[in-house]
Amino acid sequence: MKKIPLTLLIIGISITFVLSFAMPELAGKVKNDISSMKILYSYSVTKSFLEQTEETIEIASVPLGKVKTQDVNIRTDVQLEETPLNIQGVVKGNLNKPEEYKHKVTLTGPEKGFTYRKYYLTKNYDKGTYTVIRTNKITGKEKEYAGTYYEPSAQDPIIAWSRDKK
């Protein structure tokens, strides 16, 4: 087990405490920097894929013979269920990053024989479960957290498609 000098931990806590009274606007930044150093805890994260889920959004409907130009801005984000705030950053750091679809698109109506064309975007997510084991670097005490995650799918996180309707 790696030992961390107790004086370093006490100094970090003292700096945060003093700044919270003297300069409160800096206290939060220093506190976050200290916690991001992971002085007190180490983390082990395990993911298990369950299934792929999707969310489809209709972005436009264009009638026969018409053309429409449109800005399309869609984002897929990581979503967590049953996750305490103190480990959300650790879990998110082990998942796929958010994806963005930002395009200016020209959408055209359908061929003759159809009335309109509907345009869609489908966001694909990988759903799974995670387990985090948090270990106190000083005492060696472990705590386990578990929950469900949705992350942008590694393959085809966002798919654009259309359907012609009569």
What's the pLDDT tens digit per position in 59-107? 999 999 999 999 999 999 999 999 999 999 999 999 999 999 899 999 9
What pLDDT, on the 0 to 100 scale, is given for residue 25?
Answer: 53
Q: DSSP assignment of 42-59, as one string?
A: EEEEEEEEEEEEEEEEEE
The more confident residue out of 8 and 3 is 3
Joined together, the tokens standing for residue 111 give 């061929």
What pLDDT, on the 0 to 100 scale, is given for residue 158?
Answer: 94
Phi and psi dihedrals of 33, rounded to 5? Answer: -65, -40
CB 75 within 8 A of CB 99: yes
Q: How far is CA 81 from CA 85, 86, 146, 149, in A?
A: 11, 13, 9, 6
Mean pLDDT rounded to a whole number for the chain: 83
The pLDDT tens digits of the residues spanning 20-67 come to: 444 445 444 444 443 544 789 999 999 999 999 999 999 999 999 999
Q: How far apart are CA 107 and CA 27, in angstroms?
A: 51
C-alpha 133: how far from chain center: 20
Joined together, the tokens standing for residue 107 give 């959408």
What pLDDT, on the 0 to 100 scale, is given for residue 107?
Answer: 97
